Chain A
Amino acid sequence: MSNSREITGRSAAGPGNPTTESSVVPASTRELDELVTHEDVDRARDRWKVTQGRAALARRRRLGRFSGLWLLWLLIGPGVLVFLGENDAPSMLTYAATGARFGVGFFLPFTVLTFLMGFVVQEMTARLGAVTHRGHAELIFDRFGSFWGFFAMGDLVLGNFLTLVTEFIGVRAGLGFFGVRPALAVGGALLGVLGAIMTGRYWTWERITLALALFNGLFIPAALLAHPAWGQVGNAMLTWQPLPRGDGNEILLLLLATMGATVTPWMLFFQQSAVVDKGLQPRDIPAARLDTLLGTVLATVFAIAAILATAPLFQHGINAADFQTAQFAQALEPWIGRFGAALFALGIFEAGIVAAVTISTSSAYAFGEVLHSGHSLNRPVRDAWPFYLTLMGSACLAAGLVLIPGAPLEFIILTVNVIAVLAMPPALAFLLILVNDRELMGEHANGFWGNLGGVSVGLVLVAAGLMFSLATVFPRLLRT
């Protein structure tokens, strides 16, 4: 790796750093002024709070027994955001479809399993970001070269753009339930994205987006209004019964879509870049793990709530096979009431807008890293305009597509999660090689269990993709 001995800060804690000086900076004040940017200052402010929180926790002073919670509050963010961001409009609609088609049964524990897969993968990206201080795209280009880097970017750009389109479909459909016109709904969502990024501060952006993301919990009251049979829920969780019955092709599509709702390439790129932008360091890895675990648990609970909320449609024999985006909330109204249906519609709207923010940010981070231009939410717009232009440009393009009359929106929704699953194995291969790279990771490299988990997830995804291709080429194979 190339090296520099010109820039020295606090001693790096691992071999992930190309510069490992530990001495005081031997430079003049003027040189130092030129060295430190606005982005560095903002990040240093956040790090200082963490340092103070850590010191208070060690001394058990200031907030007493709440010091640990205060420190966790400072350090959480990327893990919760990535999982609640991935509980996006197409994902929530996928969960709704499984509830409506198969009720309470196999898909409940299967959803938990897919989130466990997601945790295994995302924990690695958080670790990679905290140790190397580099985004995922940057590391792929640095370590594997631009040939493989552009392939990875191609997968990301295609997947992100299609997913972004589906987020605006969700926004449009969610607000459509309340009679809001599509142009107004989509325009409002774009303003929301713009408002979040215009803060010029990663911390503020993260807290605003986190606050918005917690509204994913709207699916919980919607589920409670559906009066689930808790005994049946417990039984399904333990026995994985009853198994889904019917058209094998449809079941396979929903299996793939459920996997694609928790394990996707954009999540890798987003969380690693967000960890870097937040300024996490190797000593924060336990907190980053907790952050990822918290995100996993919250997203799992909300996803299960979406399944339970739509289970009455299955119980009452309502055929949801041809349901389009907005129709779930309308169809649920007789069973969970107008209020419950409104919560469901608002939940879809929220899922769309939060994911629109996180996914467009993920694209912008990746472009900035590859082009070596400024790519931080701590930078003002004038200093990192290509970053902000990519972010808003991709959002505007996707929003515009949603407003085209007659655009095949339902097909995009159906296939976007499937494409995410199919594009994931190469992304996972890059991740596993990077996180096993001792030159980068040192003592934080993957151990046996991490690799076993990662490889298992990869094999499951490849097997699912191969089954999907067989079922497509031979459609009668799984038909009953």
Chain B
Amino acid sequence: MGTDLTGPETPMSEGKNTLGKQGEPDFQDPRVVLSVLEADQLVAAKRRTHFGRRELSPGIRILFWGLRVYVILMLIIVLLSVLRALHGVS
């Protein structure tokens, strides 16, 4: 597991021309916001762009259906166990 927190420098660390009071940039300037966030971190970008559907292979479909059946069966089992406990049947 890596523990280096530094990573590469980003443009804002040199953004002296947009500094406001107390050295903080003026965030009312949209260019400042755009220079700090990644392109698809913007709300507008997320609204307009979506990751498309991936092709589900037969193996993945079988896995999904199998797990769905598993969950439904398990919920029935839980219901059975609760009903038993409610009626004090062992």
Give chain A's interface residues, CB within 8 Å of chain B.
1-4, 6-13, 17-21, 25, 29, 32-33, 35-37, 39-41, 43-45, 47-48, 51-52, 54-55, 57-58, 68, 71-72, 75, 132-134, 139, 142-145, 148, 151, 155, 279, 281, 283-287, 289-290, 293, 372, 374, 376, 408, 411, 414-415, 418-419, 422-423, 425-426, 429, 433, 437, 439-440, 462, 465, 468-469, 472-473, 475
> Could you say which of A21, A279, A439 contacts B41, with CB atoms under 8 Å apart?
A279
Q: How far is the CB of A164 from chain B (nearest CB, A)?
A: 18
> Could you say which of A68, A71, A139, A422 contacts B71, with CB atoms under 8 Å apart?
A422
Give chain B's interface residues, CB within 8 Å of chain A.
1-13, 24-25, 27-28, 30-54, 56, 60, 63-64, 67-68, 70-71, 73-75, 77-78, 80-82, 84-86, 90
Q: Does B34 lie within 8 Å of A25, measured CB to CB?
A: yes
Q: Does B45 lie within 8 Å of A7, measured CB to CB?
A: yes
Q: Does A144 lie within 8 Å of B56, measured CB to CB?
A: yes
Q: How far is the CB of A141 from chain B (nearest CB, A)?
A: 9
18 other contacts beyond A18-B49, A54-B9, with CB at 8 A cut-off? A7-B39, A7-B45, A9-B33, A20-B39, A32-B30, A32-B34, A33-B30, A51-B10, A51-B13, A54-B13, A133-B46, A285-B2, A374-B43, A423-B74, A425-B71, A439-B54, A469-B74, A475-B90
Residue of B nearest to A8 (CB): B39
Q: Does B45 lie within 8 Å of A4, measured CB to CB?
A: yes
Residue of B nearest to A281 (CB): B38
Asked if A437 meets B46 with Cβ closer than 8 Å, knowing A10-B11, A10-B35, A148-B64, the reply is: no
Q: Which residues of A contact B38 (CB under 8 A)?
A: 9-13, 17, 133, 281
> Could you say which of B3, B40, B63, B74 contacts A19, with CB atoms under 8 Å apart?
B40
Q: Does A9 lie within 8 Å of B37, measured CB to CB?
A: yes
Determine chain A's interface SS by DSSP, over half rule.
Answer: helix
Q: Which residues of B contact A148 (CB under 8 A)?
A: 64
Q: How far is the CB of B12 from chain A (nearest CB, A)?
A: 5
Q: Does B71 lie within 8 Å of A45, measured CB to CB?
A: no
Q: Does A36 lie within 8 Å of B42, measured CB to CB?
A: yes
Q: Does B71 lie within 8 Å of A18, measured CB to CB?
A: no
Q: How far is the CB of A119 from chain B (nearest CB, A)?
A: 10
Q: Which residues of B contact A35 (CB under 8 A)?
A: 30, 34, 42, 44
Docked pose: A39 CA to B46 CA in angstroms: 12
Q: Which residues of A contact B84 (CB under 8 A)?
A: 472, 475
22 residue pairs of the A-B complex, CB under 8 angstroms, read A3-B49, A9-B34, A9-B37, A11-B38, A13-B38, A17-B38, A37-B43, A40-B37, A41-B27, A44-B32, A55-B9, A139-B51, A142-B50, A143-B54, A151-B68, A293-B1, A408-B86, A415-B78, A422-B71, A422-B75, A426-B71, A468-B77
Q: Does B74 lie within 8 Å of A422, measured CB to CB?
A: yes
Q: Does B68 lie within 8 Å of A426, measured CB to CB?
A: yes
Q: How far is the CB of A216 from chain B (nearest CB, A)?
A: 24
Closest 10 CB pairs of A and B: A283-B7, A32-B30, A422-B74, A18-B49, A426-B67, A36-B30, A55-B13, A44-B33, A9-B39, A1-B52
Q: Does B9 lie within 8 Å of A58, measured CB to CB?
A: yes
Q: Does B82 lie within 8 Å of A75, measured CB to CB?
A: no
> Could you say which of A58, A139, A289 contacts B6, with CB atoms under 8 Å apart?
A58
Q: Which residues of A contact B36 (CB under 8 A)?
A: 10, 44, 47-48, 51
Asked if A419 meets B78 with Cβ closer than 8 Å, knowing A10-B39, A45-B27, A75-B5, the reply is: yes
Q: How far is the CB of A43 from chain B (nearest CB, A)?
A: 6
Q: Which residues of B contact A145 (CB under 8 A)?
A: 53
Q: Which residues of A contact B40 (CB under 8 A)?
A: 7, 9, 12, 17-19, 133
Asked if A472 meets B77 with Cβ closer than 8 Å, knowing A279-B41, A422-B71, A429-B63, the reply is: yes
Q: Does A279 lie within 8 Å of B86, measured CB to CB?
A: no
Residue of A nearest to B76 (CB): A469
Q: How far is the CB of B89 from chain A (nearest CB, A)?
A: 9
Q: Does B63 lie within 8 Å of A48, measured CB to CB?
A: no
Q: Which residues of A contact B8 (CB under 8 A)?
A: 283
Q: How far is the CB of A136 from chain B (nearest CB, A)?
A: 13
> Could you say which of B12, B47, B71, B82 contacts A411, with CB atoms under 8 Å apart?
B82
Asked if A54 meets B6 with Cβ closer than 8 Å, knowing A37-B44, A426-B67, the reply is: yes
Q: How far is the CB of B18 from chain A (nearest CB, A)?
A: 10
Q: How far is the CB of B2 from chain A (nearest CB, A)?
A: 4
Q: Which residues of B contact A284 (CB under 8 A)?
A: 7
Docked pose: A36 CA to B33 CA in angstroms: 8
Q: How far is the CB of A438 from chain B (nearest CB, A)?
A: 11
Q: Does B49 lie within 8 Å of A54, measured CB to CB?
A: no
Q: Which residues of A contact B24 (CB under 8 A)?
A: 48
Q: How far is the CB of A125 from chain B (nearest CB, A)?
A: 16
Q: Does B12 lie within 8 Å of A71, measured CB to CB?
A: no
Residue of B nearest to A142 (CB): B51
Q: Does B39 lie within 8 Å of A12, measured CB to CB?
A: yes
> Could you say which of B33, B34, B41, B77 contacts A133, with CB atoms under 8 Å apart?
B41
Docked pose: A437 CA to B71 CA in angstroms: 24
